[in-house]
Structure 1
Amino acid sequence: MAEPHAPEPAARGGASGTPVTLDRREGAEGEIALRRHGGPDGDVWEIIVNGTFLMDTSDGRSERLLVDAAMRALPEERRAARPSVLIGGLGVGFSLAHAVADDRWGRVVAVEREQAVIDWHHEGPLARVSKSALIDPRTVILHTDLLEYVRTTSDRYDALCLDIDNGPDWTVTESNDSLYTEEGLAACRALLNPFGVLAVWSAQPSPTFGDALGNAGFSGVTAEEVPVARGVPDVVHLAVRTA
């Protein structure tokens, strides 16, 4: 995920380098749009929610770290048993594609509440990222709200990778705030098998989030930084369910 920023005004049919809106729809909690930027290194696609930049295809390092860090945090015997992973937010598809490209993962489930995002992967330009992953037999795409799924499903996973916001302190919609409370994090913990790992992406460090993870019953709380071109590093928060 690229560093969050206020989006430039969208333009249709603009000149090279000008953002061009390819699709705009009413989503679960407001407008969601797919835009394209032309640049010297090729086109970049970005997702905008209610006028707020969410993510784009310009990099992907931090999305890959999100998945790799979760795998590294699992016990060796669990890694050897092809662990399952739930990816919260399909986004531009980097996390899903990276998980499926790693043969050590078993079942790979991505939860996405926006039908538009799913369509952009199946029928639109984001297929360039996710095409191979979508046809892999290990892949499952669930069209549902992550918060509802976490609180109601009987499914269990070895890893849970969350990337639906710009971080615990910078949510895309107000309804997502509850996911990062002690109650919401406890629900995430209940979704994990013993010694399962929760990994949460953030665009900036969150000094209080580690405390919330500990209060929700997690242990082994750490954070890994990903340098970015400008501003503070991206952060992946990690925590383990030990019982």
Structure 2
Amino acid sequence: MRAPYDNEPRTLDHRTGPHGEIVLREHDGQLQIIANGTFLMDTSDGRSERLLVDAAHETLDERPAPSVLIGGLGVGFSLAHAATDPHWGRITVVEREAAVIDWHRTGPLAPYTAEAFADPRTRIVHADLLAHLDDPAAPTYDALCLDIDNGPDWTVTEDNDSLYSPAGLAACTRRLNPGGVLAVWSAQPSAGFEKALRNAGFEGVRTHEVAVVRGVPDVVHLAVRAA
């Protein structure tokens, strides 16, 4: 899925928090985020993260200034891309790891998101994604773009499994406006997740493939809340 590396990685920051270990490292000029020993993402290629946002926007009906929630800040590709699009209205990012937010505010990842952080449409929420989706005081959104795991079948921590369960998908439905779009990034297709989306009452369920250098394609799972 990623290009091969030549040199040994260099750890830039390492923290342990309520969700386990989170590491930022540099490898062959790229920055990488590792969570609990699992490679999450790096700065080498943001095509699929940008597609996550674009596919959600293209699936929406033509409503003015749609709002978007980006689940997971990561290396910032999705946020930075959303902020370059003047058609988005409110842009909210929910990130549970304080370290990741710090790396973007004042650390090595700041160059990737400085303009997006300064955009008045952007709001960064330090919270667990499922807790935010379940919060009755949280706003609703026109699009949910979720990229917190390597996919529904390959979660970073076991408690993330609940996001893809019937209860988690019901929370996504409640947080979406009628006709709103749920977009979920995955490192591999998941027929089981497509079935779960249909069982949860979503319409227009489809999977958009993203070509990679080697291995199975990355995908974006798309589904629409009934109007």
TM-score bin (small chain): over 0.9
TM-score, normalised to structure 2, is: 0.96
1:58 aligns with 2:58: no
Rounded Cα–Cα distance in structure 2 between residues aligned with 1:4 and 1:118: 24
Partner of 1:36: 26
Rounded Cα–Cα distance in structure 2 between residues aligned with 1:145 and 1:153: 14
Structure 2 CA distance for partners of 1:4 and 1:168, relative to 1, 3 Å: farther
Identity %: 67
Rounded Cα–Cα distance in structure 2 between residues aligned with 1:153 and 1:64: 29
Q: CA RMSD in A?
A: 1.6
Are the equivalent residues in 2 in contact too, given 1:28–1:113 (CA < 8 A)? no
Are the equivalent residues in 2 in contact too, given 1:165–1:171 (CA < 8 A)? yes
1:27 aligns with 2:11: no
Unaligned runs of 5+ in 1: 9-15
1:115 aligns with 2:98: yes
5 Å-filtered alignment, 1:1-243, equals 3=1, 17-38=7-28, 43-76=29-62, 78=63, 81-154=64-137, 155-243=139-227
Rounded Cα–Cα distance in structure 2 between residues aligned with 1:49 and 1:125: 17
Q: Deviations over 1:77-128 (max 9, x none)?
A: x1xx010000000000000000010000000000000000000001111111
Deviation at 1:4? Answer: 7.5
Are the equivalent residues in 2 in contact too, given 1:162–1:200 (CA < 8 A)? yes
Rounded Cα–Cα distance in structure 1 between residues aligned with 2:94 and 2:58: 22
Tell me which stretches of 4 or more aligned residues in structure 1 moved more than 2 Å: none
Pick which of 63-72 and 21-30 moved more. Answer: 21-30
Are the equivalent residues in 2 in contact too, given 1:109–1:139 (CA < 8 A)? yes
Rounded Cα–Cα distance in structure 2 between residues aligned with 1:192 and 1:126: 30
Alignment: residue pair count: 226
Are the equivalent residues in 1 in contact too, given 2:203–2:224 (CA < 8 A)? yes
Unaligned runs of 5+ in 2: none
